[in-house]
């Protein structure tokens, strides 16, 4: 099952603008992570926010977490053409089989136009 669901599915902006992507999830979590994927290959970890945190920054990235609404947002400020990629949120979902699965959403495809 897909724990995290991102929206929008696709986003196209001009270079220099800010990009906001949202993620919703269904069960309680320990933490939520955002990843980036270029060209359908390996994912790169961007940022992790714990369930007791509300906001976190890393460079041009800002992540918020609202556990009451079971949602998170990723903001990329002053976007660059090189930010063009797919962005995924991931949560640790208890599988019921004694372990926590790292479960990914379907992703937001961001296009930054030079």
Q: Of the listed pieces 18-26, 43-51, 54-62, 67-75, which binds other proteins according to CB under 8 A?
A: 43-51
Q: What is the DSSP string of 69-99?
A: TTEEEEEE-S--GGG-EEEEEEEEEE-SSSS
CB of 16 to other proteins, least distance (A): 27
List binders of other proteins among 72-111 (CB under 8 A). Answer: 88, 90, 92, 95-107
**Residue 55: CB minimum distance to other proteins, A:** 19
| 8 touches other proteins by CB under 8 A | no
Token pair belonging to 23:
């993620």
In the window 49-68, what residues touch other proteins (CB under 8 A)? 50
Q: Are 64 and 72 in contact (CB under 8 A)?
A: yes
Q: In angstroms, rounded to a whole number, what is the distance separating the alpha carbons of residues 87 and 95?
A: 23
Rounded to whole angstroms, the Cα distance separating 33 from 91 reads 6
Q: Which residues bind other proteins (CB under 8 A)?
A: 2, 30-31, 33, 35, 40-45, 48, 50, 88, 90, 92, 95-107
């Amino acid at each position: 099952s897909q724990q995290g669901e991102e929206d929008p599915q696709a986003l196209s902006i001009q270079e220099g603008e800010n990009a906001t992507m949202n993620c919703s999830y269904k069960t309680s979590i320990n933490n939520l992570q955002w990843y980036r994927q270029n060209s359908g290959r390996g994912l790169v970890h961007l940022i992790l926010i714990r369930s007791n945190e509300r906001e976190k920054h890393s460079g041009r990235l800002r992540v918020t977490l609202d556990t009451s609404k079971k949602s998170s947002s990723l903001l990329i400020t002053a976007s660059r053409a090189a930010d063009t990629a797919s962005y995924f949120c991931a949560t640790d979902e208890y599988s019921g089989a004694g372990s926590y699965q790292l479960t990914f959403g379907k992703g937001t495809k961001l296009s930054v136009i030079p």
